Structure 1
Amino acid sequence: MVSAPTERLVLASRSAARRGMLTDAGVPFSVQVADVDEDAVKATHDPADAAGLAAELARVKALAVSRHDGDAWVLGADQTLSFDGGLVSKAGSLEAARARLMAMRGKVHHLHSGAALARNGQIVWSGVDTATMRVRDFSDAFLDAYLAAEGEGLLACVGSYRLEGMGSQLFEAVEGDYFSVLGLPLWPVLAELRRAGVLKS
Structure 2
Amino acid sequence: MTTPIILASKSPFRAALLKNAGITFLAEAAEIDERAVEAALHDTGAAPEDIALVLAEAKALNVGGHHPDALVIGCDQTLSLDDEIFHKPADMEAARRHLLKLSGKTHNLNSAVVLVRGEETIWRHVGVARMTMRTLEPAFIGRHLASVGDIALSSVGAYQVEGEGLQLFEEIDGDYFTIVGLPMLPLLAELRKLGAIDG
1:23 to 15, 19, 22: 19
Residue 17 of structure 1 aligns to a residue in which SS? Answer: helix
Shift of 1:48: 5.4
Aligned counterparts, 1:85-164, within 5 A: 85-164=83-162
Letter in structure 2 aligned against 1:61:
K
2:61 to 60, 63, 72: 63
Shift of 1:47: 6.1
Letter in structure 2 aligned against 1:189:
L
Distance 1:198 1:59 in 2: 19
Same amino acid, percent of matched pairs:
42
Distance 1:194 1:123 in 2: 17
**Cα deviations across residues 108-159 of structure 1 (Å, max 9, x unaligned)?**
1110000000002110001101110000012334322210111112111000
Distance 2:86 2:141 in 1: 19
Displacement over 6 Å in runs of 4+: none
* Farther off after superposition, 46-55 or 190-199: 46-55
Q: Which runs of 5 or more structure 2 residues have no equivalent in the other structure?
A: none
Distance 2:75 2:114 in 1: 6
Q: State the number of aligned residues.
A: 197
Distance 1:91 1:47, change over 3 A: farther
2:198 aligns with 200
Q: Is the 8 A contact 1:47 1:86 kept in 2?
A: no
Distance 2:46 2:37 in 1: 14
Distance 1:64 1:126 in 2: 16
RMSD between aligned residues: 1.3
1:169 aligns with 167
Q: TM-score, normalised by structure 2?
A: 0.95
Residue 23 of structure 2 aligns to a residue in which SS? Answer: coil
Q: TM-score, normalised by structure 1?
A: 0.94
Q: Which runs of 5 or more structure 1 residues have no equivalent in the other structure?
A: none
